[in-house]
Structure 1
Amino acid sequence: MEVKTWTYDEFPDFTEEIEDAVRLTTSGNEVGVSYHHDVKYAEVNGISLHLQILNPFTRNDPDKVYPCIVYVQGSAWMEQDVYGSCTLLGKLAAKGYVIAVVQYRHSGIAAFPAQVQDARNAIRYIRIHAGDYHIDQDNIFVGGSSSGGQVAMFCGIVKEGDEMDATLYPGVSAEVKGILDYYGAVSMLEEDGFPSTLNHHLPDSPEGMVMGHSNLRERTELREKATVECYITHKLDIPPVIIFHGTKDRTVNVSQSVSLYKKLKACGKNVRLYLLEGADHGGAEFWTEEVCNIVDNFIKTLSWPVPGH
């Protein structure tokens, strides 16, 4: 065989019959997932912020573009483990989605709405660099879990130039086609909203810390400021929302998602709620084939046609 720079098409297939060898058929459309780690998307007040990017790929179509889910990893608004969810998120990536896991400024260094501002700037970065990661910039979604679910919801509510928006990329849109809320900590109004947080609403509680280390038992206006449903009105333009929550969530009461769902429905918004029976705060139940297919179908109904998708 000649040694040269072969193209895939011209390279000869090995056809010799080998005794006891088993030949397995491949199509070239099998989806793999590559990982781009610690991609810097912003620097705010000397703090570098990064993305973990999961990229689907196939042999037959290496230049294919995909919708993107910008995913905010939850952490009770404290420092995140942005690597921990990558293996589970890979299940969605393998269905044909670029996943960009967002690192935000945590409550130890920045109060709300810094986390929302960071996520929106991550969306803008993704839109600018769509070509680098085979992303269809017209089909970007935002999602998140727990505190990240709250941040994702606010990403869809905030408008360009709002008080909660602080763009690092002027002229670049942070709009998304839909929102994926996994057991989001979307309300600070309820007294039992965080069933296992004994110091709930006090300055050293997770929610108190992210609201400026404030005593939320005495600051109703701050509780409302960080509660998604307080912003929902008939006039509000918000992308379609899909919500997943476990019925035995000991960390974020499922009533938070139910209340948000009812408010969105009452205001005529496009929203779906899935209650996972017996599920706690996260876990493998949220990444089954059934749940991932629900997400896949949700996104496909909202995406403009993407070639080959």
Structure 2
Amino acid sequence: MIRFYLLIIVSLISLLAFLKAPEYHLWLLAIGVTEFPLIFFGISLLLTLTGFWAHKYQMAGTILGVVTMLIFLSPIVRAYWVSKTLKDDMAKAFKSADGKGTPGLSATDVPFSFWNLFKGTDTIDYRTITYVKYKDTALKLDFYPAQDQGTDFLLPKPCVIVVHGGSWAGGDSKQLPELNSYLALKGYNVAAINYRMAPKWQTPAPVEDIQAAITYLKTHADELHIDVRNFVLLGRSAGAQIATLAAYTINEPSLKGVIDFYGPEDMVWGYSIPSSRLIMDSRKVMEDYIGGTYSKVPQKYYACSPLEFVSKQSPPTLIIHGDNDVLVSPEHSRRLNLKLQQNGIRHYLLKLPWATHGFDYNLNGPGGQLSTFAVATFLKTVCPRPPKEGGIKY
């Protein structure tokens, strides 16, 4: 009897692989269900196997257990399905100017592997640097130096500037550091920045901080071994709104692309359709960041909506979003994708049907593998390796 009840509970949890979480703690659980599926599969397998000794509801429990196991495995199956076309789709979306496809993308690059679900993540040391001092505060960044890449280790490397999430009021540069180490091991410098946060500071302060970070990194390029002509912005959630707004407004020639992980891109629409208060009071969060309700400061909502500033000069953009996101609606990414398409900007929207907000918490999970592959492919495209001899050519 206890086994049957436990299987019912586990089976209800498994539904988070398909349905949107209705509450904050269930959203956190949904990240585990979809990005650590083998753990939950193992739990349901153990409960199902105890049916050999159960007396009541033996058959019903076994059937329920098998169905539950299949549901827990569904993100893996769907990741395989997405991976089948991801490489070709990205090659078409980001083909080089000569039409030959994505530079540096080899036939051995695999978007998703079942065996990578068992892998750990490598980390490297970073140094913390103060990059700007204001009258009322100073800001720091964590710098992950590019690791040696064969014979080109003497060449300056591109730099990825990472902007953390946290509803514009929380989080820091230590958030989700695994991708930083991964990119550094692939030969990119990574600068994970802190920025001024709400409610003390409001938009456009964080965009100004990105500009300050680029200025600092350029000034210290020789010391940090940075290729000053190749910067890419990467932001998550609120950080993605900051990163894309900066990418589309600061007119920085060295900025070669922007990566948007589940960011709010239409702040006007986002305010009109808030998220569930059981998850987050999104209107209060936006009011603290923007400086008032939409009815009081409508122009500021337009001014911090990245898609309003997309133009034919905007940099290439990679958008990554889960369809089951309950904090930032996938509609934001759909709208940005359409605006980029209308302006002829090289871009790609990676949609993950099972994934929720923060799915990249596990770099080796189904969503984590696909998004990491997409990021690496994008960087190879917008920051191609310079020739090893004869200097850097552009």
Which residue does the alignment assign to 2:107? none
Residue 150 (structure 1) shift: 0.7
SS of 2:255's equivalent in the other structure is coil
Which residue does the alignment assign to 2:229? 138
Aligned residue identity for 2:318: I
User: 8 Å contact 1:33–1:54 — kept in the other structure?
Assistant: no
Aligned residue identity for 1:143: L
SS of 1:35's equivalent in the other structure is coil
In structure 2, C-alpha distance between the alignment counterparts of 1:158 and 1:240, rounded to whole Å? 14
Residue 329 of structure 2, aligned match among 253, 277, 284: 253
Residue 183 of structure 1, aligned match among 249, 262, 265: 262
Root-mean-square deviation over aligned CA pairs? 2.4
Whether 2:243 is the aligned partner of 1:155: answer no
Whether 2:373 is the aligned partner of 1:297: answer no
Residue 165 of structure 2, aligned match among 65, 74, 89: 74
SS of 1:299's equivalent in the other structure is helix
Which residue does the alignment assign to 1:240? 316
SS of 2:371's equivalent in the other structure is helix
In structure 1, C-alpha distance between the alignment counterparts of 2:354 and 2:154, rounded to whole Å? 42
Structure with more relative contact order (C-alpha pairs < 8 Å, separation 6 or more): 2
User: 8 Å contact 1:52–1:100 — kept in the other structure?
Assistant: yes
User: 8 Å contact 1:34–1:56 — kept in the other structure?
Assistant: no
User: 8 Å contact 2:198–2:289 — kept in the other structure?
Assistant: yes
Residue 83 (structure 1) shift: 0.9
In structure 2, C-alpha distance between the alignment counterparts of 1:199 and 1:289, rounded to whole Å? 30
TM alignment of 1:55-134, pairs within 5 A: 55-58=145-148, 63-134=154-225
Which residue does the alignment assign to 2:360? 284
TM-score of the pair, normalised by structure 1 = 0.76
Which residue does the alignment assign to 1:273? 349
Whether 2:120 is the aligned partner of 1:40: answer no
The structure where strand makes up a greater share of residues is: 1
Whether 2:299 is the aligned partner of 1:221: answer yes
User: 8 Å contact 1:121–1:174 — kept in the other structure?
Assistant: no
Which deviates more from structure 2 when the two are superposed, residues 38-47 or residues 291-300? 291-300
SS of 1:57's equivalent in the other structure is coil
Cα distance per residue 1:126-167 (max 9 Å; x no partner): 12212222221111111100111011111111135xxxxxxx
In structure 1, C-alpha distance between the alignment counterparts of 2:232 and 2:149, rounded to whole Å? 26
Question: Kindly tell me: are residues 79 and 304 of structure 1, through their superposed partners in 2, closer, same or farther at Cα, counting changes over 3 Å?
Answer: same
Q: Identity of paired residues, percent?
A: 25
Shift >6 Å, 4+ stretches: none
In structure 1, C-alpha distance between the alignment counterparts of 2:335 and 2:179, rounded to whole Å? 28
User: 8 Å contact 1:194–1:252 — kept in the other structure?
Assistant: yes
In structure 2, C-alpha distance between the alignment counterparts of 1:175 and 1:155, rounded to whole Å? 13
In structure 1, C-alpha distance between the alignment counterparts of 2:386 and 2:208, rounded to whole Å? 28
In structure 2, C-alpha distance between the alignment counterparts of 1:87 and 1:50, rounded to whole Å? 19
SS of 2:169's equivalent in the other structure is coil
Which residue does the alignment assign to 1:192? 273
Cα distance per residue 1:152-207 (max 9 Å; x no partner): 111111135xxxxxxxxxxxx57400011111122212222534566443xxx111
Aligned residue identity for 1:294: A
Question: Kindly tell me: are residues 174 and 39 of structure 1, through their superposed partners in 2, closer, same or farther at Cα, counting changes over 3 Å?
Answer: farther
SS of 1:155's equivalent in the other structure is helix
In structure 2, C-alpha distance between the alignment counterparts of 1:59 and 1:178, rounded to whole Å? 22
TM-score of the pair, normalised by structure 2 = 0.61
Residue 104 (structure 1) shift: 0.5
Which residue does the alignment assign to 2:386? 306
Which consecutive unaligned segments of at least 5 residues does structure 1 have?
1-31, 161-172
Whether 2:287 is the aligned partner of 1:208: answer yes
Residue-pair matches, total = 260
Residue 246 (structure 1) shift: 0.8
Cα distance per residue 1:89-144 (max 9 Å; x no partner): 22222222111011110013211000101012111211221222222111111110
User: 8 Å contact 1:69–1:97 — kept in the other structure?
Assistant: yes
Residue 263 (structure 1) shift: 1.1
